[in-house]
Each structure stands twice: as C-alpha cells, then as structure tokens.
Copies of this chain bind each other. A is one copy, B any other.
Amino acid sequence: MTITHTTVAAGPVVPSTGALRPLPLGDLRLTGGYWADWQQRNADTVIRHCETWMERIGWTGNFDAAATGEPFDHAGIEFVDSEVYKLLEAMAWQLGVQPDDDLAERYDRLVERVAGAQDADGYLHTSFGRPWQRPRWSDMEWGHELYSMGHLIQAAVARLRTAGGGRLVDVAVRLADHLVEVFGTDGREAVCGHPEIEPALVELGRATGDRRYVDLARTFVDRRGHGLLAPIEYGQEYFQDDVPVRDADVLRGHAVRALYLAAGAVDVAVETGDADLLRAVETQWANTVAKRTYLTGAMGAHHQDEAFGADFELPPDREYGETCAAIASNMLSWRLLLETGESKYADLIERTLYNAVMVAPREDGRAFFYANTMHQRVEGTVPPEDEVVRRALSSLRAPWFEVSCCPTNLSRTLANVQSVFATVSDDGLQLHQYGDYEVDTVVGDGTRAAFSVRSDWPYSGTVEVVATADSKGPVALRLRVPCWSSGATLDVVDQAVPVEGDTVTVTRSFTAGDRVVLDVPVRARVTVPDVRIDAVRGTVAVERGPLVYALESTDLGADVRDVTVPADAEPVDGGSDDVRIAVRVHAVPEPTSLPYREGAGPADRASSAQPAESRTVRLVPYASWGNRGPSTMRVFIPVE
C-alpha cells in the first residue's frame, strides 16, 4: 500500500509517499508515564544544561565573535556549531509540544546570535572561511562543514514544521541555496566526511517544497563511495566512501556517519522513487541488525574509530555503543517504518530507545554517557560536575564533553519522542509504541481517530486503548505486538481478534468509550546470544519486556567478575524493579602466572570446582545502571 500526501505540520521526517504517514506533532499528546516524565525533564533540565554549558565554554559565543568580523579564538573543536544547532532543534520541538514564553525568548535570542554569523552569500560556519581561518571547504575529510550545516537545516525544519517559519528558517534557506550553488550539478564534486547534510536537505525540500534541495541530497548520496575523500588511517569505510551506497550490503565504518547516511539515502530514495536504493538500505539494515547490533540495540563496537566491527564482533566490555549512534539508528528505522509499514522497525526503535538511548542520561538529566559499555570491569570514578570531560573517559556519566554531540542529540530526541509512537494510513491508525497518551487525528479522507492510550510501559504489558470520540466511519486500529512477547491477548468490546504475528488490527467504526486492551505478558526471561558472538559465549542475559537488565556490584556486594549463574537458572520476577536471579560468587584464587593452563582432558576443561557462595541477587534495568555511584556491571553473565 503506497499513499501520497502533502506536507503538514509534523515531527521530524515527513515523506511525500510511504506505507504510513507520521502524525502532525500536535495530534499525539503525552499525558504521563515514562516519556512524559523524561520530556518534562528535558524541558526543565537538559535543555538548560546544554545552554549553560555552551555559553560557559564559548560555543555559543563563537557566533557573536564571528559576527564582529574581527579575528577571534574559536572555542572548541571545529564542529561545535552543530551542538548549538541541535540544541535549537530541541528547543523548537519542545516549543511545538508545549508553549513556554521563557523558552521562546531564549530560543529567539540564540537564533539571532547564530544568524549574525552568516556570511552575505549564505555560508555559515564559525571555524572556516574568515581571512585568519582555514579556507571554506579546505578539509572535506575532517572539517565537518556540511555536517554542521546539516544540523542547522534540521533545526530550521523543526521550526518550520512547528511555527511555520522564522528567522532560522530564512537563514537555513539562504544557506541551502548557497550549497546548491557550490555543490550542485555544475559545482564542486565533493562530499562531507561526516554525513548529515543528506537527510537535512531532503527534509528542507519536503518542508519548503523546493525540489533543488532533494536533488542536491541525491547528488551527495550518489557521489559517496567513489573515493572523493582522501585516504585516512582507518580506511575509507570509516566515512562510507569505500562502496557506493546502493552497492553496500551492510553498514560499516563510523557508526553515526553510516547511520546518518543511510537515513539520508532512504529520504532520497523515497522522494525520487529510487526502489533500488531503498532496497539496498533495507538490506543494510537487516544485515546490520542481524550481525552487528548489541542486545540493547546499540551499534558500533570499536573505540578506536567509533565504528561497527566485523560481523559478530560485539564485545560487551569494549563496546562503544555511542549514544548518537543509537539515536541515528532510530532515525533510520523510523524512515523505514514509514516507508514499508513493517513492524520490525518499530521493534528495534523500542529496544534502542529504552536501552541504548536511555542509558545515556543520568536520572537527573545533568550528566551523560557518550559511549555505553555493557560490561564495566573496573569501578569508575565520578567525573567532576563542573569540568569538561574527554569522551574516552566514560566510566560514569559526565556533565559535558570536549566532543559533546550526545547530550544535545538526546535533547532533540526527547523533545519529539512521541513522533514515533503512532502513524496513520488511508484506512487506519497504527500504534507502534505504548505509554500514556491521547491521539486525535484524521484517517484517510476525514474519519476521526481519537483514542486515549494508557499503559505503564515499559514496566507492564497492558495497553488500554479507549475511543474518546466517535470515528463516524471504519478505522483499522493496528497495534504492534512486540517481537519479544509471546501469548499476547486482545480484548475488544464485542469482537474476538486472534493475536498472531507482529501486529493485531481491530477494524470498526469506533464509538466514544469503546475499549480495546492488548495484554502482552511481561515476565523476566533469559536471553542467549548467538553462538557466533565470541565475546559472550557461554553467557546469558536477562530481559523483561523491552528492558535489558544488568547486574551491578552495588547489588551483588561483590565484584561482578567472579559470578556465574547455574545452567538452569530462571529469573524471579517480582515486578520491574524486583527482578532477581540465582548466582554463585566464586572465590577464584588470583592467578600467579600466565592466565592459561594445560587442559589434559574434558573434565579439566570445565571451570574447576572452586568454593562458591550461592545467593539470589537483584538485577536493574540496564538504562539505570551507574546511578548509585561507581560499580562494576555486566549484562551477560557466565553460565556455570
């Protein structure tokens, strides 16, 4: 089923065709629970936190200095403009969700400062192009010029979609026009080392109706993989310049770059009807999920080059799992969900959101992980609350980083998180994510779909959907049945609907008060990694609903190093905050020579019998780990 629709005020990503349509942002309102709480914390705390830090260390000041025309010492690395833009995007979405005079004023002031730094021809970057700086476009590999500009454009699209226009939109359009001139068909044949401009330009094209931006995005996608970027130490796959996008069958290289590019490629494919390109990215998604994705949904195994590793190279201790890569993964999955309507994309969004993304912020929203390990071997130290931390040192969440892409990326994600909860099609409404929210939207040619959704998701599996208005026409209400569930049931007023497969649909003319209840059994369960993931052979993890659980030394009262679970251990489920498992804590003597020994026979190859203490220990949701001070932690626990 493919539908065509016009651009409407909406959240991020508004394709002109696709199996499903995003809702106008105002048509879905969070009313409580997990996401409303976090969105409020974002509005109250995270946004201000980002503003304060960037003001304090001069990243916003760069724009003021640039506006003067006088030489200045640029604060921070060359792409810190992009953090200001991501913050502006977060503010714009937040203002779209919930008017706030104070925030609106801060937003306007910040936009003015950014606008002041724009050159007469539309170019805007505080690190390049002034007489005392490096020339424009002189470092396509590492300069991040188009990358930063892409984030400006995204921020402007957010404003255009939520406020209809404004100063930042004008700035972005002037900038984009300049880029069309510089990099368009007859222009400079180049791509940026860090993709991001691609989805940004398509989105601007969608939001403004100006086709030239889509064309330029397509040009950038097409140029990639043809060796336009100079060779670097990590190889050209680092910035996906090794293979043309349409010829690759898996994501590779720097994870954030790969995922932003793939998202942009889907946007281009959708807007240009490029089925081959679309299929290529679908294949890349499938192979990446099957072979290069952590249990939490996190992507990217390498610290060195922030990259995907080889297939099944998924070490939990040296996991990189950058927060931004998880966010980027959802950007890609959301686009593929809209295009194809396939539930598997919503499944990955759920897993990634609750685990790989939400592990990043500290409970108070004032500190963040940049990289996200699934196995903390050594108790970390608490980073100072008032210092900029280097990203490689992430033993516990830090308030700010020298490269601080993750806090602002998280902030813009939280500000519009409900945009991925539901979609519409010509005949129905699809609920992809659950929680407490109200939907009131239009299906097809005018049928009203108004529902109240109530659920204590991710802690409980009961989802109550009540019609809040008469639909006055048939609505196919489709609910996702999560891939991790079994035995889900659906209770409908006067209808028995069997639950099989990954969605369940109730089609009827709804009357206000009609009640549909999806009941997904949520029990702690044991999960076994694929035998090819060498780094976690012989271990199990525990999950409950969409949440991955972790064992912390805080609860164990011992280092998680010397712990095993019995082969037949089953978790004891006393509720989401009372998941327990039987473990044995071994008193393994410290080795005194090389940690390898001769194994004469099979018996000797089993772990030798050591004194062990049996106990039952509480596990915590992985996203919550590290909120109680330094600890050692592991998700995958060795089986005895």
Nearest B residue to A297, CB-CB: B594
The minimal Cβ–Cβ distance linking A282 to chain B, given in whole angstroms, is: 13
Please name all residues of chain B whose beta carbon is closer than 8 Å to the beta carbon of A604 when the two chains form the complex: 528
Among the 9-residue stretches A25-33, A202-210, A561-569, the one with 4 or more Cβ atoms under 8 Å from chain B is: A561-569
**Is the CB–CB distance between A286 and B393 below 8 Å?**
no
**Is the CB–CB distance between A595 and B290 below 8 Å?**
yes
**Is the CB–CB distance between A375 and B599 below 8 Å?**
no
Contact code string A371-401 (vs B, CB < 8 Å = 1, else 0) = 0000101100000000000111100000000
**Is the CB–CB distance between A599 and B534 below 8 Å?**
no
**Is the CB–CB distance between B317 and A313 below 8 Å?**
yes
**With an 8 A cutoff between CB atoms, is A266 at the interface?**
no
Please name all residues of chain B whose beta carbon is closer than 8 Å to the beta carbon of A567 when the two chains form the complex: 602, 605
The minimal Cβ–Cβ distance linking A287 to chain B, given in whole angstroms, is: 9
Nearest B residue to A317, CB-CB: B313
**Is the CB–CB distance between A531 and B638 below 8 Å?**
yes
Nearest B residue to A391, CB-CB: B233
**Is the CB–CB distance between A597 and B527 below 8 Å?**
yes
Most B CB contacts (10 A, CB to CB) among A286, A562, A588, A598 go to A598
Please name all residues of chain B whose beta carbon is closer than 8 Å to the beta carbon of A284 when the two chains form the complex: none
**With an 8 A cutoff between CB atoms, is A227 at the interface?**
no
**Is the CB–CB distance between A537 and B540 below 8 Å?**
no
Please name all residues of chain B whose beta carbon is closer than 8 Å to the beta carbon of A538 when the two chains form the complex: 537-538
A128-167 residues with Cβ-Cβ distance < 8 A to B are: none
The minimal Cβ–Cβ distance linking A436 to chain B, given in whole angstroms, is: 28
* Alpha-carbon separation in the docked complex, A525 to B302 (Å): 33
The minimal Cβ–Cβ distance linking A266 to chain B, given in whole angstroms, is: 20
Please name all residues of chain B whose beta carbon is closer than 8 Å to the beta carbon of A305 when the two chains form the complex: 392
Please name all residues of chain B whose beta carbon is closer than 8 Å to the beta carbon of A310 when the two chains form the complex: 317, 377-378
Q: Which residue from B402, B530, B568, B593 sits with its C-beta under 8 Å from A602? A: B568
**Is the CB–CB distance between B303 and A562 below 8 Å?**
no
On chain A, which size bracket covers the interface? 35 or more
* Alpha-carbon separation in the docked complex, A360 to B365 (Å): 48
Nearest B residue to A525, CB-CB: B598
**With an 8 A cutoff between CB atoms, is A639 at the interface?**
yes
**Is the CB–CB distance between B599 and A527 below 8 Å?**
yes
**Is the CB–CB distance between A233 and B393 below 8 Å?**
yes
**Is the CB–CB distance between A595 and B529 below 8 Å?**
yes
* Alpha-carbon separation in the docked complex, A391 to B305 (Å): 13
Contact code string A541-556 (vs B, CB < 8 Å = 1, else 0) = 1000000000000000
**Is the CB–CB distance between B597 and A528 below 8 Å?**
yes
**Is the CB–CB distance between A561 and B312 below 8 Å?**
yes
Q: Which residue from B315, B588, B599 sits with its C-beta under 8 Å from A535? A: B315
Please name all residues of chain B whose beta carbon is closer than 8 Å to the beta carbon of A233 when the two chains form the complex: 390-393, 402
Nearest B residue to A387, CB-CB: B231
The minimal Cβ–Cβ distance linking A637 to chain B, given in whole angstroms, is: 10
Nearest B residue to A531, CB-CB: B607
Contact code string A297-323 (vs B, CB < 8 Å = 1, else 0) = 000011111000111111111100000
The minimal Cβ–Cβ distance linking A124 to chain B, given in whole angstroms, is: 29
**Is the CB–CB distance between B598 and A526 below 8 Å?**
yes
Q: With A290-B594, A592-B286, A638-B534 as known contacts, state yes or no: A235 contacts B393, CB within 8 Å.
A: yes
**Is the CB–CB distance between B591 and A291 below 8 Å?**
yes
Please name all residues of chain B whose beta carbon is closer than 8 Å to the beta carbon of A113 when the two chains form the complex: none
Q: With A289-B594, A530-B595, A596-B528 as known contacts, state yes or no: A315 contacts B318, CB within 8 Å.
A: yes
Q: Which residue from B231, B312, B377, B568 sits with its C-beta under 8 Å from A595? A: B312
**With an 8 A cutoff between CB atoms, is A532 at the interface?**
yes
Please name all residues of chain B whose beta carbon is closer than 8 Å to the beta carbon of A599 when the two chains form the complex: 526-528, 540
The minimal Cβ–Cβ distance linking A44 to chain B, given in whole angstroms, is: 32
A505-534 residues with Cβ-Cβ distance < 8 A to B are: 525-534
Complex A-B, nearest 8 residue pairs according to Cβ-Cβ distance, in ascending order: A530-B595, A528-B599, A233-B390, A303-B304, A310-B377, A538-B538, A290-B591, A304-B304
24 pairs of residues in contact across A and B, judged by CB atoms under 8 Å: A231-B390, A233-B391, A233-B393, A234-B393, A289-B593, A295-B596, A303-B303, A303-B304, A309-B377, A310-B377, A312-B561, A315-B317, A527-B596, A527-B598, A528-B598, A529-B595, A531-B588, A531-B638, A532-B588, A532-B595, A534-B536, A535-B535, A537-B538, A567-B605
